[in-house]
Structure 1
Amino acid sequence: MTFNFTNSQELLQVASEEKLYKKLILQLNKDLKLANLEHEFNVSITPEKLKRDLHEAIFLLINERFADYLNFLYIIDVSEEQIKSLDGSDVVKLSEAVTFLVLKREWKKVWFKNKYS
């Protein structure tokens, strides 16, 4: 299995095809709770709405609760190097790119747990 997705839609499509989409949402919810964030996604949410709502949540964290945003990235274990390589001049585009990195990291966790447990 490769993890070379080009965007969130592709990642979420693969998660659905491999019947791991619900586990991806549960993992995301678990990490949101560990980061003491009140956001929680319903397991029946569509992939498009999940991406949009997560993007919005990350956008708000960056703009209004930056310390919580950093803690969230730490809990999920998004690479600091990847975050630093992003262009921060446009917060909308930055939060969209971070959304993809978050989903990609959560996907790796779910995929490995499924494969090796």
Structure 2
Amino acid sequence: MRDLKFEQKRSLSRLEAADQLTALAAALREGEDAEVELGPGTLSLRIPDDLRSEIEIEIGNGEIELEIEFTWPTAPVRTTPSRMATATEKATERKNPPAEPGRSSTAAKRSKSAKRPAPKTP
């Protein structure tokens, strides 16, 4: 059973169809909480960054049918760092410990190396 289904069937001119697709494209580009004007009403959608798509073309009975379908989960998808990424981050932290407060990491490295005398100015 579906939580909600909206379906609209009507005749459009080619320009009206292009305007409808342009509005949908703008909503997809905007993402997050997007609004699409559909005839007399407005459809509000929460659109994530990643979608699945399906394009279907059927030719038969003297008609061409073009379907463009986008699907995404209704609940936000939580991503957790993989074990490999976490291990890599920890190894990087061990190699490059944070600099002492008030000193840049370059200054900390320089203080460990032999100090050079300042060049003489003429």
Q: Which TM-score bucket, shorter chain as reference?
A: under 0.3
TM-score by length of 1: 0.27
Larger radius of gyration: 2
Higher relative contact order (CA 8 A, sep 6+): 1
Higher strand share: 2
